């Protein structure tokens, strides 16, 4: 039995469905965060040519979640004392089961983690970005600061 191929005419639709679903999950996470958010972050949502950009900005600090029509999803962070940080958190796969794994990861808390950092709910950008310039990625830095903050509550 050969590998089941995807009808090429369905690929753009699959990409737009993937991006739209991820965007919905992220927006739901953002809405849930509003009750506990005290930062002065400004949020801008831009939809252009099927790309979606969720941009958080404060005083000389920026966090962008970029959902591209290609199906790829990036996060970008900028802060005045650090070089820009870019991480691809999802590279589009035509396999719907792999797409669903990522969407479930977002539903299971990853979307909230992204929003926590974007809203400075977990840690300030400067401290968070200190951990990102090296071999660390977003998820590792988030887990590190979560343990650090939990340790301070004792």
pLDDT for res 12: 66
pLDDT for res 38: 62
Residue 127 lies in a domain: yes
Rg (the chain; Cα; Å): 17
Residue 3 lies in a domain: no
Neighbours of 71 (CB within 10 A): 21
Helix, strand, or coil here: 110?
helix
Residue 144 lies in a domain: yes
Q: Residue 92 in contact with residue 15, Cβ under 8 Å?
A: yes
Number of domains in the chain: 1
pLDDT for res 1: 52
In this prediction, the residues of the chain whose per-residue pLDDT falls under 50 are 154
Residue 17 lies in a domain: yes
Residue 89 lies in a domain: yes
Provide CB contacts within 8 A for 5, sequence distance 6+: none
pLDDT for res 154: 44
Helix, strand, or coil here: 118?
helix
Q: What is the DSSP letter of 69?
A: T
pLDDT for res 109: 96
Residue 133 lies in a domain: yes
Provide CB contacts within 8 A for 61, sequence distance 6+: 77, 78, 79, 80, 125, 126
pLDDT for res 151: 66
Residue 2 lies in a domain: no
H and E: helices and strands count for the chain: 5, 5
Residue 120 lies in a domain: yes
Domain range for 59: 8-152
Helix, strand, or coil here: 56?
strand
């Amino acid at each position: 039995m050969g590998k089941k191929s995807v009808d090429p005419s369905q690929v753009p639709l699959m990409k737009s469905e993937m991006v739209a679903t991820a965007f919905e999950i992220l927006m739901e996470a953002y809405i849930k965060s509003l009750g506990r958010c005290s930062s002065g972050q400004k949020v801008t949502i831009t939809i252009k040519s099927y790309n979606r950009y969720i941009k958080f900005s404060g005083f000389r600090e920026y966090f962008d979640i970029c959902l591209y029509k290609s199906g790829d999803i990036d996060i970008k962070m900028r802060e005045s004392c650090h070089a820009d940080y870019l991480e691809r958190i999802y590279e589009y796969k035509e396999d719907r089961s792999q797409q669903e794994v990522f969407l479930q990861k977002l539903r299971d808390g990853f979307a909230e983690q992204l929003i926590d950092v974007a809203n400075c709910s977990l840690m300030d950008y400067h401290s968070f970005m200190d951990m990102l310039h090296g071999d660390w990625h977003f998820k590792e830095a988030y887990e590190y600061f979560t343990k650090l903050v939990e340790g301070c509550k004792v």
